[in-house]
Each structure stands twice: as C-alpha cells, then as structure tokens.
Homo-oligomer: A and B are copies of this chain.
Amino acid sequence: MTRGHGTRHRHPPVAEGDLADQLHSAAIHLLRQLRKEDDASGLSAPRLSALSVVVFGGPLTLGGLARAEQVKPPTMTRIVTGLEKDGLVNRKDDPRDGRLTHIEATAKGRKILMAGRARRVEKLASAVGRLNRSELAELRRGVQLVVDVVASMRGDRPERREAIARPPRIREEQK
C-alpha cells in the first residue's frame, strides 16, 4: 500500500463529487443485488455481517460487536437475539463481570455462514468471471481503497492500524 506519499494536490471538487455519488449509488445497488442471494440463506445483510464478525473475530461482547458493526447496542441486541433464535450464535455470561455477555458462533452458525458465502461467491463469480486478470486486480485494489476511505471516515487511522489483525491468511477479518 503506497501511502504516506503526501501529495497535497487539489483535486477538482466536481470530480470527487461524482466519485462520491457513484460510490454511493454503486454501494446501494450492490447491496440490493447481494441481498437477494443472502435471502436464500434466510439471513439478512446485517445478521450475516454480524455473524461473520463473530465467526472470524472470535467471541465478542455484545457491545464490542455493536461497535464493530457501527451500530447501537439495542440494535445489536435484536440482531443477536435473531441469530440466537436460529441457533447460529450463543450468549455466554462472563463469570467475572456479570454485566458482560459474550457472543460466540455455533457450529451451525459457521456452516450457514459458509453456505451463504458460497452462494454469494457463485453469484459474484459469474459477474466477476468476465473480468480479466488485470481487471480483477484493479477491482481488488479499488475495494481496498474503499475500505481505507471508509475507515478514515470513521476516524480510524488507516495507517498502522490494528497490529492484531493483519495476518495474510485467508481470513476475512476485514468485516
């Protein structure tokens, strides 16, 4: 990632505005398409996203999960309740701090997540499949930039963040 180059160049605001609009629109329509596949697994996008964090991020407290998902605790309570009712996650009381509730994925939760993931892969594969190798790399690069941009909007420091979560494994920790 070539960052820290520091070229303080004024880009035409109109260009950035167009980019913002296109990004906004693309995100909306992308989610609408992906949701169709997500529905096939009976999981909505927020639930799937939360489950993904739990599966790959290990057990978390409900508050931590809410923070990770950029959502308020009451919202996460309901999402977790829905996931728990479907037997995809478990609530576990903390033995030391009675206020805390840890959320962990069940085997079924992991299985469902993988199945939904496979469905999206299949859907996206037919769309991404027409991209050639270099386009695929460009898309990957673009997604990474979007992730960085979103992170910087959130106030995170995109550079040097999370010394914990960057093993170049096949993990999808990027939530």
Contacts and interface: CB of A to CB of B under 8 A. Distances in A.
Interface residues of A, number: 87
Given A37-B172, A149-B124, A19 B132 contact: no
Most chain B CB atoms below 10 A, which of A119, A141, A146: A146
Given A132-B6, A136-B11, A143-B19, A39 B175 contact: yes
A169 B21 contact: no
A122 interface: yes
Main secondary structure of the interface of A (DSSP, over half): helix
10 nearest A-B residue pairs (beta carbon): A142-B142, A27-B27, A17-B121, A20-B124, A7-B132, A139-B145, A127-B152, A40-B172, A5-B132, A33-B153
Interface of A: 1-3, 5-9, 11, 13-14, 16-34, 37, 39-40, 45-46, 49, 52, 70-71, 117-147, 149-150, 152-154, 158, 160-161, 165-167, 169-170, 172-175
